[in-house]
Copies of this chain bind each other. A is one copy, B any other.
Amino acid sequence: MTEYKAFRVELADKIAHVQINRPEKLNAMNADFWKEIIDIFQWADETDEVRVVVLSGAGKHFSAGIDLALLAQAASHLGKDVGRNARALRKTILQLQGSFNAVDRCSKPVLAAIQGYCIGGGIDLISACDMRYCSADAQFSIKEIDMGMAADVGTLQRLPRLIGDGIMRELAYTGRNVNAEEAQRIGLVNSVYADHAALFDGVMELARQIAAKSPIAIRGTKEMIGYARDHRVEDGLEYIATWNAAMLQSADLQAAMMAHMSKKTPEFAD
C-alpha cells in the first residue's frame, strides 16, 4: 500500500478505508490532500479487489475544509493583468474540482463516516460521496459564504440534488450550523449513530454487506444512478438496456440464481 502524507489508506476484506489524516489541523485540506485524493480514488477505481470505499477523518472532526494557507498562497501568485489572473484562477478551481470529481466518478460505492465538524470544503467532499452517515456530535456548515466567496468545488452543484431546494438555499446564504438530527431530517445523512465507535462499526457493517454483492451488479447500479442525476428517464432506460446487453451475459447472474434456488450465499469474483 502506498504511503500518503494527508491520508491513511487500508484495504481489508474488499473494503478500502480512506482516512484523512491530519487530525492536528482538523483535517484541513492542504496541497498534499488535493493531490493525493486523486491518486487514491483512481487506485480504488482500478483495483478490482476494492469493492467499497469508506471515507473518514482521523481525530475529533471530519474536516475543517480547505487550508486557508493554500488560499493565501494562490492569491499571492496573482499578477497585474486581470484577464491572465482569471485564466490562472479558473485553471486552479478546475483542478481542485478535479480532486472531488475523482471521488464522484469512482466506480465503487463511497460511504462517508462523519464526526465533529464538517465545514466548507468538507461539505463539498461529502456531497461527492454516495452515502453519508454521522455521529450525534456532527456539525455541518457551508462556511464559504463567510469567506466572502461562493463555494466552488461542488457543494452548490451536488448538494441541491441531495437535500430540499428551500433548505439548501437557507444553508448556503447563512452558513449556519446543521446538527446531526437536522442533517438526517433533510436527507443530508442516512443515519445518525450515538458516537464515533458506533458510527465506524455501523458504516463498516454496511460496507461489508455491499462488498458481498456481485461487483458487476454494483458497478452497473452506481453507473445508472449517477447517470440518472443528469439525464432524462428515457436516456437512462436506453443506457441500462445497452449496458445490461453485455452484463447479463456475465456468470454472476447465474451464480446468484443458483445460490438463490439452493438458499446459499453466492460468491462472486472481483
Contacts and interface: CB of A to CB of B under 8 A. Distances in A.
Interface of A: 68, 71-72, 75, 78, 81-87, 89-90, 93-94, 97, 101, 104, 109, 130-132, 144-152, 154, 156-158, 160-170, 172-176, 187-190, 206, 209-210, 213-214, 216-225, 228-257, 260, 266, 268-269
A93 to B, nearest CB: 4
B229 A230 contact: no
Given A131-B170, A206-B174, A257-B72, A241 B93 contact: yes
Nearest to A160: B228
B149 A248 contact: yes
Contact of A93 (B240, B253, B268): B240
Given A169-B130, A236-B157, A249 B89 contact: yes
Contacts of A218: 145, 173
A104 B169 CA distance: 13
A236 B247 CA distance: 20
A75 B251 CA distance: 11
24 contacts: A81-B250, A82-B246, A83-B249, A83-B252, A94-B238, A97-B237, A145-B217, A148-B266, A148-B268, A150-B223, A150-B244, A150-B247, A151-B221, A151-B240, A156-B240, A157-B228, A158-B233, A160-B228, A170-B206, A173-B218, A174-B209, A174-B210, A175-B213, A242-B242
